[in-house]
Chain A
Amino acid sequence: MPATSPSSSPSAAPEAETKTAAETETETESVVVAGIGPRIVAAVLVVAGGALAFVAWGELDGEPLAVGGPRFAPLLVTVLWTALAVVYLIRPAPVEVEPIGDRRSPLLLVAALVVYVLLLEPAGFAIASTLFFVAAAWILGSRRWLRDVVVAVPLAFGVYFAFTLGLDIRLPAGVLPI
């Protein structure tokens, strides 16, 4: 694959030093993953596709399968999905990915998001958003608490009032008497 050929791995090429910051950033060295990763993905896809095809079959509920009926397309799509996934499992095409720098952050972000949306109604949009914003900025590498809070509070409250007063979209007020 191209990533190993000299022409398309510019960060290894001598002229890399003359590149602008923007260009270097985009062309961080890619690695070819041919190992276990794509196979795990393929295996997950096979299982998911198979399960969905099973659901689609179950939804038939004993009726005969008609091309013009509502049950044909779900079976067609899920069976096709499963078949493609099986092919991919047997012969996963090599893939270029940027090296993973941080495994923890995406996980933490997802957890923060879930907490955020669950807090949205009980705590209210403004408070939940302020907390989430600061937490997310921290996860993403910011270590300047004060600045983040100073940005988060006006952002969250500003959006809240712009939506509820300006656009007449109701957002949860939560615990605040606003």
Chain B
Amino acid sequence: MSELLSGFATVLSPWNLLFAAIGVTVGTFVGVLPGIGPALTIALLLPITFSLDDPVGALIMFAGIYYGAMYGGSTTSILLNTPGESASVATSIEGYQMARRGRAHAALATAAIGSFVAGTISTVLLTLIARPVASLATSFRASDYFALAVLAMVCVTALVGSSVIRGLLSLSLGLFLGLIGIDSLTGQSRFTFGTLELLDGVGIVVVIVGLFAIGETLHVAARGDVPATVEPVRPTGGVLGWLSRDDWRRSWRPWLRGTAFGFPFGALPSGGAEIPTFLSYMYEKHRARGKGEFGKGAIEGVAGPEAANNAAFAGVLVPLLTLGIPTSATAAVLLAAFQIFNVQPGPQLFERSPDLVWALIASLYVGNVMLLVLNLPMIGLWVKVLQIPRPLLYAGILVFATLGVYAVSNSVVEVLIAYAIGVIGFFMRRYGFPLAPVILGVILGPLMEEQFRRALQIAGGDATVFVTRPLTVVLLSLAVVALVVPYLPGIVARSRGRRAGKLTFAEDD
């Protein structure tokens, strides 16, 4: 505890607070741009920090960038239905519906406050239980990861939407996109059609920018008769201005539950921030069953996923700091940053560089507060984005979408791939195919396949590995339960001789 306090003493200098403010601002800005996320930004800022003698300032700035970028990403998801990062896709589902109904202020506020709450709680967890969580996380073997991926897949299948068949077709598209490129286990190329550009696969950024930013713009263009702007409903006052009493009441539980999803998933090697956001969304939707507001802008569907993606960051730091294992792109860049300052994350880190670690942890608290302080007042300004005349707004989105893909890859071909996916996204919107399953397929598909084959390879081809290892068996059984439970009420009711409304996975509206 005294260590943490001395960490705060380090961080709370005017100079470092300035770094935190810069970080949050830069982060929010790049987060708003489609495709350009925290990992790239931090990587680009790394050389600048070479010349700093004291790594603390740089680390504080990086933490600020991460939190800022996560929040910035949710801003565009909510206002324009154009998430720039995979972790914001779940937010866009309800968030955009809220904005369309003039509730953009409330959506942005619940995202900001939820991020703060989740960030703070998960940082506390990081402070207290980093070590035990890390050793638990590294006990996961390949077969366990496979089982976990199956469980996650089953839990979020409900994202398939109103038509099961269309949802599954969307999922197939995502799974197919995830297969393109070099097979990571054998180095064989798949669906590359002899081109070098496809060897690395179609990046998730390209898919998201195409499907959402480009697809949405084409969709808007086809609607033709859209009004020039959407007039947001003025907030009616309330505790912090933007959230009504009812919004608070409905938000706080999803914040906490989102945190509970985000932190452990972040801590798992090959976990990441996307899966918990989808799990949180599904869980909130499940709980709200029957109230019928999901799909039309339910605040719970924004509060939960936003909390989850922020909580995941502190989770990601657990294996990074205690074992030197990066579990996300941003973490990998942070690891590079540590090494430049001659700090090797790992079991020795807490003994060897306690000042730095505790300063970093303290800077997470500070970055969180900074995010809230800077961004809550900004909400009014962000919502003004909606008052930009539509032609200019969407022309700008297309320029930034192109820029985002090109800046990362320097490749015209990748941009053309994003456009092609955009055209697919347009037709999916027109013919009622849900978009989220595509993202799910791209993320979970490779994870499932890779871990399944790796587990087989480790077991020497013996498939019994999936039924003999206790953790694997437990996770797979949970998956089966999750698959069956939604049908249970119907089955039970039928066995009692009553006709009950059948509750299916595809329940919607």
Contacts and interface: CB of A to CB of B under 8 A. Distances in A.
B464 interface: no
Given A74-B179, A84-B169, A114-B419, A142 B221 contact: no
B188 interface: yes
Contacts of A129: 399, 402-403
A45 to B, nearest CB: 6
Dominant SS among interface residues on chain A: helix
A67 interface: yes
Nearest to B41: A167
B402 A117 contact: yes
Contact of B188 (A28, A70, A91, A121): A70
A80 B394 CA distance: 36
Contacts of A91: 165
B288 interface: no
Interface size class of A (residues with CB under 8 A): 35 or more
Contacts of A85: 169
A95 B222 contact: no
A74 B446 CA distance: 11
A59 interface: yes
27 contacts: A2-B509, A22-B102, A25-B230, A69-B186, A70-B188, A70-B453, A73-B445, A78-B176, A80-B172, A84-B168, A84-B172, A91-B165, A100-B430, A101-B224, A105-B222, A109-B221, A110-B423, A113-B419, A117-B412, A117-B415, A120-B415, A132-B399, A133-B395, A136-B395, A137-B392, A140-B391, A170-B410
A25 B185 contact: no
B163 A93 contact: yes
Given A23-B102, A25-B226, A88-B165, A77 B221 contact: no
A74 B233 CA distance: 48
A23 B445 CA distance: 38
B431 A33 contact: yes
A70 B224 contact: no
Contacts of B166: 88, 93, 95
Contacts of B419: 110, 113-114, 117
Interface size class of B (residues with CB under 8 A): 35 or more
Given A84-B172, A117-B419, A93 B227 contact: no
Contacts of A2: 509
B100 interface: yes
A173 interface: no
Interface in A118-164: 118, 120-121, 125, 129, 132-134, 136-142, 148, 151-152, 155-156, 159, 163
A162 B265 CA distance: 35
Given A2-B509, A137-B392, A141-B390, A20 B102 contact: yes
Interface string B390-407: 111011101110110011
Given A84-B168, A109-B217, A21 B431 contact: no
Interface in B210-242: 214, 217-218, 220-227, 230-233
Contact of B222 (A52, A71, A102, A118): A102
B480 to A, nearest CB: 20
Interface string A75-97: 00110110011011001010111
B462 to A, nearest CB: 10
A41 interface: yes
B183 interface: yes
A139 B221 contact: yes
B390 A140 contact: yes
B402 A113 contact: yes
Contacts of B225: 28, 101-102
A93 B157 CA distance: 18
Contact of A106 (B190, B222, B233): B222
Nearest to B174: A77
A70 B415 contact: no
A109 B445 CA distance: 32
Given A41-B427, A117-B406, 15 more contacts: A26-B101, A28-B225, A52-B176, A68-B457, A71-B188, A80-B172, A84-B169, A95-B166, A98-B223, A100-B222, A101-B223, A136-B391, A140-B394, A141-B390, A159-B400
A94 to B, nearest CB: 9
Nearest to A95: B432
Contacts of A65: none
Interface in B159-211: 163, 165-166, 168-169, 172-173, 175-176, 179, 183, 185-186, 188, 190-191, 193
B101 to A, nearest CB: 6
B173 to A, nearest CB: 8
Interface in B124-162: none
Contacts of A120: 402, 406, 412, 415
Contacts of A96: 432
A81 B176 contact: yes
